[in-house]
Structure 1
Amino acid sequence: MKGRWNAMSLVELNERSKAIFRQIVETYLETGDPVGSRTISRADGIAVSPATIRNVMADLEDLGLIAAPHTSAGRVPTDFGLRLFVDGLMEVGNLTREERASIEGRCVSSGRTIEEALGEATKALSGLSRCAALVMVPKRELSVRHIEFVPVGPGRALVVMVSEDGSVENRIISLPAGLPASTLVSAGNYLNARLGGRTLEGAMTSIRAELEARRAELDDLTARVVEAGLAVWSGGNDLPASLIISGTSNLLDNVQEATDLERIRLLFDELERKQDLIRLLELARDGRGVKMFIGAENNLFSLSGSSVVVSPYMNGANQIVGVLGVIGPTRLNYARIIPMVDYTAQVVSRLL
């Protein structure tokens, strides 16, 4: 039955089943407790008996939308059920004027670096959501000040690149034996004339196109050295993306039992594996708008049963450069947090 349901949609549920399913999810998200038939029967708009509700709950359980934790008589939504609720039944709320002002005030204050502004954005998100907030800081593409080829032995040369911030990086390349020193000088001059003040990534395509077009005019050995230098530095001057996490102490709020505390401990362990988390956030850069990873939908959080709500943000060229969002237990207030994450991403995009 559950496999068949995967190919269906919420329209397959009748209105009574939808109403009861919605009540189970909303009550659980509000209280964190399993929801029983008697609790549902007291809700507004549910004008059926507890016995009828129990029958509907049994059907919802067969469909994999709800489950009974431990030996409780109540039910909680599964990760699958939460996904269908968020995608098909939930009504997303609007931020208040005060919440918008709080986000803007933390992010847009003058005199801050981009990293500082992004750090403030996570603080604003964690404070308003009462969860942990995170932001993936974009990779820095450093402009090139100078590049030089230095012979270090037969068939080998050191490529030295000095960036605009004064940092120096080196790479070893292999070259044809007996290459004259003048060829290395010519290759360095050629690249410096085209790279000064530009990033390698920004200049790479045009330089390669020019090499192809002017190959007949260039000395073949010089062209080979230039190509070797470009190849060894391709993508090599980008610093790795970094991650800012704020408000992890919020995750300890509303811990109700030992199993909750154990899940939070596991989540702390998962947050320590920042490179794994960065790889997850990279997935959210493949499109615009808010994305969610609910519980076991992602292997990284399968142990702690956590949810991530994230949105990409853009630079002035309308290019996606990073991701920010909120992480916490699957019992998130999705209707409130989704617009909160979305608006924060918009503010950061305007800032950039």
Structure 2
Amino acid sequence: MINRLFGVEGSFSFMRFSGLGFSLLSLFTFPVLADETSAAVFQDAPIEMKSIWVKNSEGKVVEDPQTSALVYWRGRILSIGDGSARHAMRLQLLPIDPATAQMSDETISLVQSKEVKNGCFSGYLSYGPDLEAVAADPDNDKVFIIATEDAYRFTLKDECFRKYGNTGSTVHPTLLLRAELVSDTKAMITHVKAVRFPKEYKVGNSPNDGIEGLVFGAGRTLYLGLEKDTKGKARVFEVNVDKDFWNRDEMAVVADSKLLMPEINDGGNHPINALAYYPTSDKDGFLFAAARNDNQIWILDTARKKPTTVVKMEFLAQSLDDACPSWEKMNNYSIEGMTFIDNTLYMINDPWKVNYQKNATCKAMEPYYKAMAPLLTHVDVLPEWVSR
């Protein structure tokens, strides 16, 4: 079912994406860059990615959910609406069938516990905060961790400021929320943990360029992907979410993961907007990071043994009108969520409102882009991406 809908004949294999008519392996020569500090190898040509529209139960595209995360959970993939989504999509986990790209009519609402309502961050969480990343707890599938961003409208005062004002970054802290499923359609925010970045990391006060990716790696290591620091560089941090993590009153102090980040000195912005983790043992694996502005995936070795692989992708959007070609090359996809189902990497976009309508090269498709409707796509992991 998935293969047919995504335009792939037969089953996927590591060797060939047959629906696109070429071997993926032929694309990769991976020349090492002259700058040895870059610790990266680049593919020679982009992979074409056929993407299909996320629709509701009536077969209509889902309008403006601003899907900003993706996590595999109980046979489905969950996204989340960010702070700029239409009101009905805010503070909601959004279940999607990976085989059909159909979003469930029954979303999972996020509500605050009594303790959270009496805490320092209830006003912000009630406002409709910018929720940008979701991780599923590997030891309890009723529990999710959600990251916030973009709280520049809010300030902490008095005791709350004394406790949580030293963020090492933004004036209002980035928050990690613990949400626990209490019914099929409701998850309770039971704990809120403010994040502190040590000042030597020079993260900077950029509330709209904060944490955009969350994923658990080996053990209880939670990785956090930062869009950019004071130098405009994407960063990956980590923190150990142990059994006492949520009960400790102090802020969560993160550490730099010291991964081999690609050095791209072209004057552009290369933010991380999503993370996914591919384990190769019980101790390490590969972190897949989405560079939203570039249509790139960075494959980072958590063991720091292999240079980072940079995979370039060219996204094609499914046509929903007979007047248009079946698939059209997109100007901007804007990856914002990634997750694995076995060896397959799924991706979803958060339509970039300034640029999304540039994708409508066929006029009949303009209404779908104006609706800021998201697309789902996937690709199989190649062995050379995750071997050392």
TM-score of Structure 1 vs Structure 2, range by shorter chain? under 0.3
More helix by share: 1
Provide the TM-score with structure 1 as the length reference: 0.26
Provide the TM-score with structure 2 as the length reference: 0.25
More strand by share: 2
